[in-house]
Amino acid sequence: MIVLEHASVYYGAGSKRVAAVRDVSLRVAEGEAFGLVGESGSGKSTVLRAIAGLIPHAQGVVRLAGHDMGARRPTESRRMAQMVFQDPYGSLHPNQTVDQTLSMPIAIHKLGDADRRVPAALAEVGLGREHRFRYPHQLSGGQRQRVAIARALILQPRILLLDEPTSALDVSVQAEILNLLTRLRRELGLTMLMVSHDLAVIAHLCERIGVMSGGELLETTTANALAAGNVSHPYTQALLRSNQGFDASGVTG
């Protein structure tokens, strides 16, 4: 469903050019959930953005559902991959109601029938009709993230790109959102690519996990191997340790 072949993404030009993603290859099968972990600046969010078409990739191939993605994408292929961002307070327009937020993509993609689609999308993420005409500030953090997911789902994408979808949420709300994502994946057969700092969260949702550092994909492992502590790369090991809480013995200098 998602294929990257030797994909690279650069920011800036000339002497200031930075390779944010270098020569990354990965494939995600239809209906699979793939996780990306790595430190800040490792390029994991950039990979998501390149797949979503928010930034052009400079080299290599990005192929979604068998179609090569060029620098300019037709509206139809943009519809296929939709993204959910970390902080729903930042990603929802504060001056637009939930109804406006959800109607916008329908208008852009000329799907029509907004009056049926909007309540259906809200129901899908567990929100009621009463939330339809509210503004983001009238919703809780968990409800806002549900709206952001509904915004992505309303276009009936086949790929859902999740950039730290629960890290701005409380533990109890995180559980609700993770359960929602599990259910949506099962019911809609979505392919998911998720970025997170939290290994437990990513291992909960994803079968295969890629570890990134310095713009490169260091290794690809499975949730089970991770749980067994069976990882080869030093960075992955460090990540695994810090996810198990505070341990002063593991700290040097």
Task: Give residues in contact with other proteins (CB under 8 A).
Answer: 39-40, 141, 170-172, 174-176, 178-179, 182, 197-201, 203-204, 223, 226-228, 235, 238-248, 250-251, 253
Q: How far is the CB of 175 from other proteins (least distance, A)?
A: 4
- Closest CA relative to residue 193, chosen from 30, 60, 33, 8: 33
Q: How far is the CB of 71 from other proteins (least distance, A)?
A: 32
Nearer to other proteins, 23 or 198 (CB): 198
Strand 2-11 and strand 81-84: the pairing is unpaired
Nearer to other proteins, 34 or 106 (CB): 34
Nearer to other proteins, 13 or 228 (CB): 228
What are the counts of helices (DSSP H) followed by strands (DSSP E) for the chain? 10, 10
Nearer to other proteins, 8 or 196 (CB): 196
Q: How far is the CB of 72 from other proteins (least distance, A)?
A: 35
Calculate the dihedral angle through the C-alpha atoms of 210, 231, 207, 160, rounding to the nearest 10 degrees: -20
C-beta of residue 81 within 8 angstroms of C-beta of residue 157: yes
Q: Which helix (H) or strand (E) holds 114?
A: helix 114-124
Strand 59-64 and strand 2-11: the pairing is antiparallel
Q: How far is the CB of 250 from other proteins (least distance, A)?
A: 7
Nearer to other proteins, 5 or 176 (CB): 176
Q: How far is the CB of 42 from other proteins (least distance, A)?
A: 9
Phi–psi pair at 176, nearest 5 degrees: -65, -45
Q: How far is the CB of 86 from other proteins (least distance, A)?
A: 13
Residue type, 1: M
Q: Tokens in use for 43?
A: 């390029």
Nearer to other proteins, 104 or 178 (CB): 178
- Burial of residue 111 (CB within 10 Å: 0-12, 13-18, 19+) is middle
